[in-house]
Amino acid sequence: MANTVLENATAAPVAPEEPHVLRSGETLPWIVVLVALVALPLVFTGGSQISTLNYLGVMAIFALSYNLLLGQTGLLSLGHATFFGLGGFAATHAVLGFAEAGVNFPLPLIPLIGGVVAFVLGIFGGWLASGRGGMPFAMITLGLSELVYSASNLFPSLYGSEEGVSMDRMDLGSSFGMDYGANSHIYVIVADCLVISAVVLKYFTTTPLGLLTNAVRDNAERVEFLGFSARRVRMWAFAVAAGFAGVAGSLAALNVEIMTVNELGAATSTLVLLMTYIGGTRTFFGPVLGAVVIGLMRIWLSDITPAWMMYFGLLFIFVVMAVPGGLAEMLQGGRRLITSGLLRAQLRPLAGVALAGAVGFAGTVILVELGYRAGLDASLGPAIRILGLPLDTTRPLSWGLGLVLVAGGGWALRQQLDALATRRHALAQPHREAVQ
C-alpha cells in the first residue's frame, strides 16, 4: 500500500548507470554527515548535549556495522550487541590494564583494541552461525548471544557484578593535545571513528568480498556453484561487522566510563535492529539516519510518554509492512519526486494522503496513551491531556474518539492512496508512450 507510494514516487526513468542498491555515486549523504559532524558540536555545546552527540555517533557506527549483515549480506542477526558489549569490555579492561601498568597508551587508539578483539571473536561466532542463512542464522545468533549473556554472571572479574565495570578515561594521560576529561574530547574520537568506519565499510562494499556478500544475499546457492563458499562469505561479513560493533562498544565505554552486561543483552541487539531497519537497509547511510532518529526519540520521547517503546514497535511494524526501504528510501523518494517536476500535479492526492495519515496517527496516539493511562499508569488518575485534548480513561467518548480517528483515518488513507495511484498512472502514461 504505502510502499507503492514511495516506489512509484517518480515516473521518470532511473539513471541507467549504477542502479545498484548501494549506489556509489551518492555524495550528498557524505556531505551531510561531514557537515553535521562539524556543525553539531558548535551548536550544542553543553557537556550533556555533547555526551548525547557521542551516543548518537556510537549508535551510528553500530548501525552501520549491523547493516553490513542485514542490508548487504541479507543476514538477520539477533545477537549483534554481543560484539558491541564484548568490544566495550575489552576496551574498558584495556584502559584499566594500561592505567595499572602505567603505560601512556593514547586513548583514541583504545577503540582499535575493542574492534580487534570483537573481530577475532566474530570470526569464531561467524563460523558457528554461518552454516546457513535466513532463519537458522537468526536463531543461532540469538542462541550464541544468550550464551554469552547468561555466562556473564559466571565471570564477575570480567563483567563486574551488577554495577558493571567502571574506569576513568583520564587515567591514560593526555595525547594528541587532549586530556579526555571533557566530553568534547571524546566527541573528537567518536566523530573520527565514525568517518573512518563509514569509509572503510563503504570501501568494503566495493571489493570482491563485498560484491560476494551481495551475491550471498541474493542467491546463496548460486554462489557455491561459482566456486565460493557462502559460509565463508557470511563468516567474514560477520567478523567485519563484529569488529565495527566492537569499535562502537569501545566508544560507548569511553563516553560513559562504565560497561554493564546490559550492553551485550537482547535489548541492545533489538535496538540496533530497529535503528538500522527503520533508517533503511538498502541505502548506505540509512542506518545512520535511523540511529540518529531513533536515538533522539529514545531520549526525548521517553521523557514525554511512557509509551515510547510501544511507538518504536508500531513504527517498526509499519516500516516492515509498508516502507521496507525505511526512512532513507522515503527521503530519496521525496527527493526524486521534487526533482522529477511531477510534484505539483500530485500535490492534491499527496496532501490527502498526508492528512488521512495524520488523522490515523492522532487516533493511534490517543488510543495508546489512553491505554497506558488506564493500565500501567492508572495511579496517575483517569484524566489525561493528549495532543492538547482533555481526555479521560473512564469516559467512553475518549476511547470512541481514538477509535473513530483510527478507523476514519485508515479508511480515508485507502481512498487517498488509490487516488494518488490513479494520478500517477495518468502522469506516467505519456512517458510510456514516448519510450515505446
Restricting to residues 2-31, which ones interact with another protein according to CB under 8 A?
16-21
Closer to another protein by Cβ: residue 105 or 318: 318
For residues 137 and 75, is the Cβ–Cβ distance under 8 A? yes
328 binds another protein (CB under 8 A): no
The residue among 155, 349, 166 whose CA lies nearest residue 253 is 166
Tell me the closest approach of the beta carbon of residue 210 to another protein, in angstroms. Answer: 7
Phi, psi of 311 (to 5 degrees): -65, -40
Closer to another protein by Cβ: residue 269 or 416: 269
All residues at 6 or more sequence positions from 83 whose CB lies less than 8 Å from its CB, including other chains: 118, 121, 122, 125, 241, 242, 243, 245, 246, 249
Closer to another protein by Cβ: residue 46 or 163: 163
313 binds another protein (CB under 8 A): yes
Helix, strand or coil, per DSSP, at residue 324: coil
Judged on CB neighbours under 10 Å (0-12, 13-18, 19+), 149 is buried
Round to whole Å and give the CA distance between 431 and 426: 10
Round to whole Å and give the CA distance between 66 and 75: 9
Closer to another protein by Cβ: residue 178 or 428: 428
Round to whole Å and give the CA distance between 350 and 116: 49
Footprint on residues 384-423 left by another protein (CB under 8 A):
none
Distances (CA, A) of 8 to 31, 169, 236, 436: 27, 51, 36, 19
Footprint on residues 68-107 left by another protein (CB under 8 A):
70, 74, 76, 78
The residue among 166, 181, 237, 248 whose CA lies nearest residue 208 is 237
Tell me the closest approach of the beta carbon of residue 299 to another protein, in angstroms. Answer: 18
320 binds another protein (CB under 8 A): yes
Tell me the closest approach of the beta carbon of residue 327 to another protein, in angstroms. Answer: 15
Footprint on residues 183-212 left by another protein (CB under 8 A):
203-204, 206-212
Tell me the closest approach of the beta carbon of residue 77 to another protein, in angstroms. Answer: 11
Cα atoms in the Cβ-side hemisphere of radius 13 Å centred on 30: 11
Closer to another protein by Cβ: residue 153 or 339: 153
Closer to another protein by Cβ: residue 69 or 172: 69
Tell me the closest approach of the beta carbon of residue 13 to another protein, in angstroms. Answer: 11
Segment near another protein (CB under 8 A), from 51-59, 319-327, 404-412, 422-430? 319-327
Binding marks (x or -) toward another protein, 224..263, rule CB under 8 A? xxxxxx--xx--x---------------------------
Q: Look up residue 17 and give its three cell numbers.
A: 548507470
Footprint on residues 265-284 left by another protein (CB under 8 A):
266, 270, 273, 277
Footprint on residues 359-378 left by another protein (CB under 8 A):
368, 371-372, 375-376
Tell me the closest approach of the beta carbon of residue 239 to another protein, in angstroms. Answer: 11
Closer to another protein by Cβ: residue 224 or 418: 224
The residue among 113, 111, 141 whose CA lies nearest residue 237 is 141
Footprint on residues 128-167 left by another protein (CB under 8 A):
128-129, 131-132, 134-136, 138-140, 142-144, 146-147, 150-151, 153-158
Query: Where do runs of H (alpha helix) occur along 78-182?
Result: 81-101, 110-129, 134-151, 156-159
Round to whole Å and give the CA distance between 75 and 135: 9
Tell me the closest approach of the beta carbon of residue 332 to another protein, in angstroms. Answer: 16
The residue among 51, 70, 101 whose CA lies nearest residue 284 is 70
